[in-house]
């Protein structure tokens, strides 16, 4: 497959995602009537849209297995476009378009850009272009993405999901894939195979993680425009997000992480918007986002405790209406994953499982337990603390300087500067910090009680990287980059 | 705290902070830049990238794809991702629950018969330690020359065939446990053997006479770790001078941390030609098993060395060597790529399928190529390749150039790629359902092999490629002759 062919298939692949992005955007439009928040509809839809395609593909393969490629290639876009038409019609009927569907630009305070800003922006754009080229010219090599790709290959060849997760290799052509994640990421691979008429190798799906990084950056920039009234903080936050080699390396290697992180960030920001102005419609939309996050990666189950704690902090009491809302939230967020959780419980005994899903790892004579820790330099309690809990500081080769910037930002936060910067940005910044602190309290509590779930895998700590980046950008931008008189 | 901002230190900090962000961004750009550009030529098509890449696990998978004659049934694999995605053959993951019986087996014969029952005929071990390679019967199996044989090793990835009965079983055994020396003249740190465990009654001698710094440096091991070497005596080193041999290592070692065993191979002049990583293991103050093999060419000799990771200690308990002579004509002379295969006759099926013949006779002028019993439909490209990469560059005064040199003349084209020269020779269209003999006799008068092709020691290959775009087009022939001689 030549470079031109790769680009051609990538273009087709992205075009087929568009109806689903539109669906997400229209759902967002229906669920909200705040003109300002509506400016976020495109980035939110870009993050949520592709996963709708995954869900639809799973439904169609489950109900119509073993059809030929053309069947799926025709029906998926057809259903997608029909839904778009239906939603457009609904919006038209409800006269939603008249009520500010077209964005009027809210005047954002445009601080003058300095040479310093421009240098950063140019370097950032260069790195994004390089990232695209690196993905285009590279190829799939890391084990986990290859396993997702192989799972997708098996599904593509069988066009049948009866035996997913592939635990019994008699039904999967020898492939053993004992994980509990939904098909959010894998089905995008299957779809790229369908689009390119898979002949052993296809390249489009490798760009999914690049797409998600760009969408997440776009989201962060838009967020800063809407809530902080400047693009510059968003730009700096995007830079802070991309200075972690572990994020960039994961994106080049087509790892799943940036997708789950983008969906988690999206869900928590939507929850923030919900807390500002609760409404039933938006609660449902936010729950759907949480559902998509769960459908993509089991680790996003963290959203439940995080949201529960944030909710309690916000309400400061448990009321009946909160319980009712909580029930609605649980119902809609579990909608997509309940079937797979039931299958997982049958197969593994748990709805989600980490290493427990691989029986060989549990054999006492093989000593897999010590293997994880010695290979990752986490044998002693001290090294677990330094390289496990505090790896953000001790492993700059993974996280760059992001955690050091975070410490600087935290210092300024503690020194009380935030109060000067307007109520809205104050609220958002506090919210970001709350999420970070809740996550780290999980890490510390599990560490103190001797569990290793959060420290074993360095990728788990990437979860809150967008929060770290955004918080640092908000705190550091005004006091370190802009001259005093502008701030 | 606010007063802090006004002082000079604060201004300085602003600058430092800004440059830290720049440095981190530049690092990311460099990080992205090197990732895909390290291993291959950018302009290659995706399939070619896979075929020519330097990643050991993919190389082994493509090697197996190209040599379908080497195995009969299933391959036991330890890195599932790359094999399941790039490989085309049946496999069983080392983590598959079907392997539990093997890990729980009580005797080596039981373990062997379980492998047989699972249909496993080959095994690929990775370049990193995995528990079954030092905790199960697997190392014992890999050190048994009657049962297993090393087929290929690429960057620490080893491909073994199991229960291969086709070779001579005259096994020579060596017991040289008392020949271990610990090197004390390393530049960093002291090396010591873990002697305080008294229940192990074997070996340990402190003779430093034969150790040298050059081995340490060539090894390329981390300077903070320790190196032990095993000096072989003259009897092993110089017996059977002219025959290639296969050595197996069987042993036990007490380790706390991570340890690897390497063979350092010397040529007849005593120069180090390569280092092979035979085995890697880890444990927490435990006895683990060593097992593995390495090949020694004619006129080569070796030393063994332990690579002990930082903060790790070890005590060698037992180590035995055994060897067999290898037949000289073990290497297959025909390589098949993609859907080409050899079965009675030669068949090229589908686009870009290739057959590569090693040519032993001298070809200096334009040869006549005769294809016997040629049938099928499609374009057939015939190419000569001269590969001088095996020649020592220093001694042969080889020009290290990577200039692309295109000499267009009728159908002849020459590409110089470092040490490999490719001559696109002639294209011919095949359209015949009845087998016919076809003589391909080029009409131009350029000599085929230029200076490098004539160099003594360069390997010459004849490559036949089906360049038809159609997937199931095939070209068949029964034999191939160059200048009237069969290859």
Q: Which of A117, A135, A138 to mutate to test the interface with B (most CBs of B within 10 A)?
A: A138
Q: What is the CATH number of the domain that holds B427?
A: 2.60.120
Rounded CA Rg of chain A: 23
Which residues does chain B have within 8 Å of residue A374's beta carbon, measured at their own beta carbons?
A: 257-258, 282-284
What is the DSSP secondary structure assignment for residue B225, as one 8-state letter?
A: S
B202 with B119, same domain: the answer is no
Pairing of strands B120-125, B74-77: parallel
| Lowest mean pLDDT segment, chosen from A78-92, A462-476, B352-366 | B352-366
In-domain check, residue B5: no
Shortest Cα distance from B41 to chain A (angstroms)? 9
User: B84-136 pLDDT, tens per residue?
Assistant: 988 888 899 999 999 999 999 999 999 999 999 998 989 999 999 999 999 99
B386 with B463, same domain: the answer is yes
In-domain check, residue B33: no
Q: Which helix (H) or strand (E) is B483 found in, with range?
A: none
- Reply yes or no on whether the pLDDT at A233 is more than 50: yes
In-domain check, residue B152: yes
pLDDT band at A127 (very low <50, low <70, confident <90, very high): very high
B339 with B470, same domain: the answer is yes
Which residues does chain B have within 8 Å of residue A368's beta carbon, measured at their own beta carbons?
A: 131
pLDDT band at B166 (very low <50, low <70, confident <90, very high): low
B429 with B313, same domain: the answer is no
User: B354-411 pLDDT, tens per residue?
Assistant: 888 877 766 655 677 888 888 888 888 887 777 665 554 444 444 433 333 333 333 4
Nearest Cα neighbor of B130 from B57, B59, B79, B54 is B79
Shortest Cα distance from B130 to chain A (angstroms)? 8
B310 with B388, same domain: the answer is no
* Helix/strand number for chain B, H first, E second: 11, 23
The mean predicted confidence, pLDDT, of chain A is 89
**pLDDT recorded at residue B401:** 34
**pLDDT recorded at residue B197:** 29
B103 to A363: CB separation less than 8 angstroms, yes or no: yes
Task: Render B26-90 in DSSP notation, one character per residue.
Answer: HHHHHHHHHHHHTTS-TTS-HHHHHHH---HHHHHHHHHHH-GGG-SSEEEES-HHHHHHH--S-
User: B231-290 pLDDT, tens per residue?
Assistant: 455 445 545 457 788 889 888 877 778 888 888 777 777 677 788 889 999 988 888 999
Q: How many CB atoms are located within 10 Å of the residue A84 CB?
A: 18
In-domain check, residue B44: no
The structural domain count of chain B equals 3
Which tokens go with A235?
């730009």
B214 with B229, same domain: the answer is yes
Q: Show Cβ contacts of residue A367 under 8 Å, excluding neighbours closer than 6 positions.
A: B131, B135, B283, B284, B286
B136 to A359: CB separation less than 8 angstroms, yes or no: no
Shortest Cα distance from B121 to chain A (angstroms)? 15
Nearest Cα neighbor of A130 from B404, B42, B20 is B42
ipTM for the complex shown: 0.89
CA distances (Å), origin A218, targets A25, A120, A134, A212, B388:
15, 16, 20, 10, 51
Picking from B134, B162, B190, the residue at the C-terminal end of a domain is B162
B84 to A371: CB separation less than 8 angstroms, yes or no: no
User: A17-30 pLDDT, tens per residue?
Assistant: 999 999 999 999 99
Nearest Cα neighbor of A196 from A357, A427, A13 is A13
- Reply yes or no on whether the pLDDT at B291 is more than 80: yes
Which residues does chain A have within 8 Å of residue B132's beta carbon, measured at their own beta carbons?
A: 366
Which residues does chain A have within 8 Å of residue B47's beta carbon, measured at their own beta carbons?
A: 1, 201
Mean pLDDT of A262-291: 96
B85 to A1: CB separation less than 8 angstroms, yes or no: no
Nearest Cα neighbor of B127 from B223, B56, B226, B63 is B56
Q: Which of B11, B30, B79, B81 to mutate to test the interface with A (most CBs of A within 10 A)?
A: B81
Mean pLDDT of A140-162: 91
Q: How many residues does chain B have?
A: 487
Mean pLDDT of A236-246: 94
Query: Does any CB of chain B come closer than 8 Å to the CB of residue A304?
Result: no
Picking from B329, B357, B372, the residue at the C-terminal end of a domain is B329
User: What phi and psi values does residue A256 have, to the nearest 5 degrees?
Assistant: -75, -20
- Reply yes or no on whether the pLDDT at A311 is more than 90: yes
Size of the A and B interface in Cβ pairs below 8 Å: 185
Whole-angstrom distance, CA of residue A50 vs CA of residue A80? 11
Shortest Cα distance from A210 to chain B (angstroms)? 13
Task: Render B407-471 in DSSP notation, one character per residue.
Answer: --BTTBEEEEETTEEEEEEEEEEEEEEEEEEEEE-------SS-HHHHSTT-EEEEEEEE--S-T
Q: What is the pTM of this model?
A: 0.81
User: B404-428 pLDDT, tens per residue?
Assistant: 333 333 344 445 455 566 665 677 7
User: What phi and psi values does residue B170 have, to the nearest 5 degrees?
Assistant: -75, 95
B297 with B187, same domain: the answer is yes
B108 with B177, same domain: the answer is no
- Reply yes or no on whether the pLDDT at A43 is more than 70: yes
Mean pLDDT of A190-199: 85
Residue indicated by tokens 């070619």 = B48
B352 with B253, same domain: the answer is no
B113 with B243, same domain: the answer is no
A243 to B24: CB separation less than 8 angstroms, yes or no: yes
Picking from B109, B140, B162, the residue at the C-terminal end of a domain is B162
B380 with B249, same domain: the answer is no
* Helix/strand number for chain A, H first, E second: 23, 0
Whole-angstrom distance, CA of residue A247 vs CA of residue A253? 10
Query: Does any CB of chain B come closer than 8 Å to the CB of residue A175?
Result: yes
Question: For B82-203, where are the E strands, in sequence order?
Answer: 91-93, 120-125, 148-154, 157-162, 172-175, 180-182
Which tops the pLDDT comparison, B78 or B228? Answer: B78
Task: Render B286-344 in DSSP notation, one character per residue.
Answer: EEEEEEEEEEE-TT-EEEEEEEE-TT-EEEEEEEEEEEEEPPGGGS-SEEEETT-EEES
Domain layout of chain A by residue ranges: 3-102+139-277
Domain that holds residue B231: 172-329
């Amino acid at each position: 497959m030549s470079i031109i062919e790769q680009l051609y298939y990538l273009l087709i692949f992205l075009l087929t995602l568009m109806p689903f992005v539109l669906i997400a955007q229209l759902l967002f439009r229906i669920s909200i009537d705040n003109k300002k928040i509506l400016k976020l509809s495109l980035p939110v839809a870009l993050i949520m849209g592709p996963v709708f395609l995954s869900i639809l593909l799973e439904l169609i393969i489950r109900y119509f297995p073993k059809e030929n490629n053309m069947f799926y290639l025709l029906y998926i876009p057809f259903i997608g476009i029909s839904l778009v038409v239906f939603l457009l019609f609904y919006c038209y009927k409800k006269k939603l378009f008249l009520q500010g569907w077209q964005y009027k630009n809210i005047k954002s305070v445009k601080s003058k850009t300095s040479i310093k800003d421009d240098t950063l922006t140019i370097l950032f754009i260069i790195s994004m272009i390089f990232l695209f080229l690196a993905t285009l010219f590279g190829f799939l090599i890391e084990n986990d993405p290859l396993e997702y790709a192989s799972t997708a290959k098996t599904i593509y060849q069988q066009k049948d999901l009866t035996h997913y997760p592939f635990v019994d290799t008699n039904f999967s052509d020898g492939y053993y894939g004992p994980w509990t994640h939904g098909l959010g990421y894998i089905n995008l691979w299957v779809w790229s195979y369908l689009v390119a008429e898979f002949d052993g190798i296809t390249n489009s799906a490798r760009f999914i993680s690049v797409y998600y990084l760009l969408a997440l950056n776009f989201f962060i920039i838009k967020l800063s425009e809407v809530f902080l009234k400047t693009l510059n903080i968003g730009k700096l936050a995007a830079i802070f997000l991309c200075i972690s080699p572990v994020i960039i390396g994961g994106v080049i290697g087509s790892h799943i992480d940036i997708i789950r992180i983008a969906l988690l960030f999206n869900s928590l920001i939507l929850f923030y918007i919900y807390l500002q102005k609760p409404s039933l419609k938006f609660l449902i939309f936010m729950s759907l986002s949480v559902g998509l996050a769960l459908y993509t990666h089991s680790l996003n189950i963290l959203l439940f405790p995080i949201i529960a704690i944030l909710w309690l902090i916000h309400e400061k009491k448990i009321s009946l209406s909160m319980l009712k809302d909580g029930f609605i939230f649980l119902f809609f967020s579990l909608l997509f994953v309940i079937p797979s959780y039931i299958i997982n419980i049958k197969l593994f005994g748990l709805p989600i499982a980490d290493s427990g899903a691989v029986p060989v790892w549990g054999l006492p004579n093989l000593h897999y337990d010590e293997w994880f820790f010695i290979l990752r330099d986490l044998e002693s309690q001290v090294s677990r603390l330094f390289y496990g809990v505090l790896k953000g500081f001790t492993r700059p080769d993974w996280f760059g300087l992001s955690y050091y910037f975070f410490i600087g930002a935290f210092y300024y936060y503690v020194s009380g500067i935030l109060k000067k910067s307007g109520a809205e940005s104050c609220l958002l910044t506090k919210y970001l910090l709350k999420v970070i602190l809740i996550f780290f309290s999980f890490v510390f509590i599990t560490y103190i009680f001797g569990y290793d779930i959060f420290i074993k895998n360095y990728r788990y700590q990437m979860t809150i990287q967008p929060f770290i980046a955004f918080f640092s950008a908000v705190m550091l931008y005004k006091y370190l980059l802009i001259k005093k008189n502008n701030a | 705290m606010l007063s802090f901002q006004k002082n000079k230190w604060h201004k300085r900090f602003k600058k430092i902070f800004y440059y830290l962000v720049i440095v981190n961004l530049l690092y990311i750009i460099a990080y992205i830049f090197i990732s895909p550009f390290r291993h291959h030529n950018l302009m290659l098509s995706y399939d070619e990238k896979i075929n020519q890449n330097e990643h050991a696990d993919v190389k082994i998978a493509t090697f197996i794809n190209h040599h379908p004659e080497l195995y009969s049934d299933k391959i036991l694999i330890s890195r599932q991702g790359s094999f399941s995605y790039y490989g085309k053959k049946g496999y069983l993951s080392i983590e598959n629950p079907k392997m539990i019986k093997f890990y729980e087996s009580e005797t080596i014969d039981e373990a062997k018969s379980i492998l047989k029952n699972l249909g496993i005929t080959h095994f690929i071990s990775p370049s990193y330690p995995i528990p079954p390679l030092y905790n199960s019967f697997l190392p014992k199996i890999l050190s048994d020359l009657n049962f297993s044989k090393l087929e290929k090793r690429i960057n620490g990835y080893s491909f073994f065939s199991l229960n291969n009965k086709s070779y001579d079983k005259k096994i020579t055994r060596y017991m040289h446990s008392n020949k271990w020396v610990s090197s004390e003249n390393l530049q960093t740190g002291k090396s010591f053997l873990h002697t305080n465990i008294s229940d192990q009654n074997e070996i340990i001698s402190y003779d430093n006479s034969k150790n040298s710094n050059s081995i340490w440096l060539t090894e390329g091991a981390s300077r903070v770790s320790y190196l032990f070497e095993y000096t072989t005596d003259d009897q092993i080193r110089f017996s059977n001078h002219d025959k290639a041999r296969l050595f197996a290592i069987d042993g036990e070692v007490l380790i706390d941390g991570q340890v690897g065993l390497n063979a350092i191979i010397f040529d007849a002049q005593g120069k180090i030609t390569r280092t092979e990583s035979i085995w890697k293991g880890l444990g927490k103050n435990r006895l683990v098993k060593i097992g593995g093999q390495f090949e020694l060419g004619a006129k080569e000799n070796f030393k063994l060395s332990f690579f002990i990771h930082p903060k790790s200690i070890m005590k060698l308990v037992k180590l035995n060597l055994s060897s067999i002579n290898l037949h000289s004509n073990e290497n297959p002379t025909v390589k098949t790529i993609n859907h080409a295969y050899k079965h009675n006759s030669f068949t090229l099926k589908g686009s870009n399928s290739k057959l590569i013949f090693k040519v032993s006779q001298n070809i200096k002028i334009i040869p006549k190529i005769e294809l016997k019993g040629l049938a099928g439909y499609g374009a057939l490209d015939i190419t000569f390749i001269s590969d001088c990469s095996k020649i020592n560059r220093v001694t042969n005064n080889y020009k290290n150039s990577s200039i692309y040199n295109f000499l267009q003349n009728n159908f002849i084209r020459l590409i110089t790629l470092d040490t490999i020269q490719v001559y696109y020779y002639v294209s011919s269209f095949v359209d015949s359902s009845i087998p016919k003999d076809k003589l391909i006799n080029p009409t131009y008068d350029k000599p085929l092999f230029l200076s490098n092709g004539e160099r003594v020691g360069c390997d010459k290959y004849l490559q036949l490629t089906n360049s038809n775009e159609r997937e199931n087009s095939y070209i068949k022939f029964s034999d191939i002759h160059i200048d009237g001689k069969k290859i």
